[in-house]
Each structure stands twice: as structure tokens, then as C-alpha cells.
Amino acid sequence: MLAGRRIVLGVTGGIAAYKAAYLARRLVEAGAEVRSILTEAGSEFLGPQTLAAITGNPPIGSYFGEPDVSPHTNLARWADAIVIAPATTATIARLAGGISNDVLVGTVLAAQVPVVVAPAMHTEMWEHPSTRRNITTLEADGYVIVGPDAGALAGGDSGPGRLVEPEVIVAALDAALTGDLDGWSVVVSAGGTREAIDPVRYIGNRSSGKMGNAIATAAARRGATVTLVTSAAPPDERGIDVIPVESAQEMADAVWTAAKKADVAVMAAAVADFRPRDPGTAKLRRADGAPEIELEPTPDILAGVAAMEPRPFLIGFAAEAGSLDGAIAKATSKGVDLLVGNDVSRAGSGFGTDTNEVTVIEPDGTADSWPVMSKHEVADRLWDRIIEMRRQKGSL
């Protein structure tokens, strides 16, 4: 599972930092691409050249003085997972409190990937009430805590607080990346279609593809094999097979082919309902006067997937302006398992935004309104809902 994965290794300031070199080697041997963050205190225990030689990339040590103008955000977007080993008491406290005064915590806060934390400290520090509270907070926030072990510690002490062995951390990281969608085949549509008027002009809409991209990215990061059929710029995410399309017909052909082998189909694209019946083969000229454009219906992609036998678990999307009555009608008539409606006229919920405010509607018309959240959060919450519904239907 680690082969081809992009792992950020964070090394903080404890004597166990020497084990991070072994961990980096194990990750590289497993086929992962590794980049590292070495905190200022961590560099007192482990030299940056050691990590550079093992990983092939010099470690990042600060927000400032790096070639990258925004090292934490770019590294967060690059990563498939982050592992912090060793994680000191101070780093754990900063993570729990969201205090991003070092580049490691800043990277974690900017990332939307699994984070594995391997604590290492003296027994008294590990057992202190503040550390226990902070660990509980991290676990509640979804961090994977590995260890610590009991054994020999610095200064001749012995007890709980010893960093677990690199092989244990690698195994935890592998498990975190396997994900709850492991073994699923998923097809996602994204973007708005373009229906040609002539070789230059087209009928289209304002869809950016961001919601579909977030859904595809979340599925890939949770272990699914993903096919993304899109008219928009795709996400930079490994594990996604991208099929670029432009028109509704091209999207229909690609989706219907991919959906035959899919477990789940999420139709998030904003597909044009109509197209010019007879698009021009040459550019229309102003001098020739305003053209009369006769329209015809485009293929109903959602209905085509719903009619398949057998068909994948099917999620539709409906972008409305004002009332969501149309989305409710679509949920009850289109043969979907779930429909996601949103009012694009609302602030933070329209095309091109990084946030969305959606209502999830079941075929019986039952509606569940979600608050405004990032499109990545919507995507993860949607996959949680899909898992729950497939389990209830006995599909898992």
C-alpha cells in the first residue's frame, strides 16, 4: 500500500529522533516517496543531511528561508499521509491546540490526509494529565496514535514512553492509508459540459468541477479505485484515472462505460440539458446577423446509469437557484439512492467556491440539511453516508 505513496515524515526534538532515520529508510524501501520536516529542536538530535541522503530530499525546517514561498501548504497538498516520529510532549500539545508556530504543525493543520503520531517522552511526561488530555483530543480529531512502548528511556530511566519500532509505525501508516473504501470501484463525473454552437462558441455553465474533484480525491485517499470523467482541470491526486471530456454526449459515453464496472457512481457534473441541434462547421459571423439556434435534449446521464441492470449505488447532484423543490422531485423520480442538492444563489454555495451548503435527499423525500463547510469536508461526509447506506442495504 505504501508503494508510490507520498509521505511527509515529521521529526521533533527528542533523543528518539535517531530512529527517524531508520523509519525513513523503511518507508523508502517500501516504495514511498518521502519528504521530511525537521524541527529546530529535532535538528539538535538528527542532522538534516542524514534525512536528505536517505530520502533524496532536503528536510524543511522553517516557514522562512526555504525555496518554497509556502512550504506548509504545498507540502500538505503534496502528501498522501503524514507521520510524526518521534512526537514530543510539546508537539503533541501544539497539535491538540492547533498552535501552528512551527512548520510541522502548520503542515498538519493545512493537510486533509491521515496523520500518524508516534509519541516518545519520559514516563512522567506521558502520564501527566495534560498529555493524556491532549492525546484524547488528537484521537477524537482522527489522529492515529501509535505507542508508546515501555522500555529503556534516556538518562537510565525505564517505563512507558519509548518510541515504538519503525516497523510498527510503517504498519500503522499502511493501515491508515488502506482506508474504508479499499476495494471499491468508483466513477465520479465533474465539471460543466460545453455544447458547441460553432468551432469557437459553446453553450455552457459556471461549474468549476471543484465538488466533483473533492469527491474523487476523498475516495482515492480512502482507498477506492477512482475513475473521474471531467470537463474541468482534474485534481493532482494519485490513484485517479482521469477521462477528459467536453460535451454531454462524450461524458455520457464515458460514464456509462465506466459505471458498468463500478460499485458506486457519483454524478456531480453540471451537464447541459440542451445542445444546438446543428452546430456550425465554420465560425458564425456578426455580419451575417444573429443566428437562430435550434436546441435538442442532451443524453440524461443519470437516468442512463439508473437504468443499468445491475447498476452501481447511485448518487445524483442537483444545482438549484432558490427553492430545492426541484432537487426533491429529482430525488424521488430519478431512481437514485441519494441526491445532493444545493442552492447556488446562496453565498458560499455557488459555482467556483471552495465551500458548499448542501441538502442530502433520499428517494422518499427525506432531507438532511448540512451546514456550510469546505467541499472536501462535504466529500468526506458524503462518503461516510454512502458507506452507512451500503452497509444497511447489505452491499458491504
Q: Tens digits of per-residue pLDDT, 31-88?
A: 899 999 999 999 988 999 999 999 999 999 888 877 877 889 889 989 989 999 999 9
- Which segment, 199-203, 228-232, 285-289, is predicted with the most confidence on average? 228-232
The pTM score is 0.69
The per-type count for the chain, helices as H runs and strands as E runs, is: 13, 21
Place of cell 471543484: 210
CATH code of the region 185-392: 3.40.50.10300
**How distant, in Å, are the alpha carbons of 80, 101, 228, 238 from that of 3?**
11, 32, 22, 11
How confident is the model at residue 149, as a pLDDT? 78
DSSP-derived secondary structure for 175-227: HHHH-TTTT-EEEEEESB--EESSSS-EE-----SHHHHHHHHHHHHTT-EEE
How confident is the model at residue 152, as a pLDDT? 67
The CATH superfamily of 6-178 is: Flavin prenyltransferase-like (3.40.50.1950)
CA gyration radius, the chain: 25
205 is catalytic: yes
The set of residues, in sequence order, having a beta carbon less than 8 Å from that of 45 and lying 6+ positions away, is 13, 14, 15, 17, 18
- Per annotation, catalytic residue among 205, 213, 342, 356: 205
pLDDT confidence tier of residue 326, bands split at 50, 70 and 90: confident
Domain boundaries, the chain: 6-178, 185-392
Fold equal for 6-178 and 185-392: yes
How confident is the model at residue 271, as a pLDDT? 95
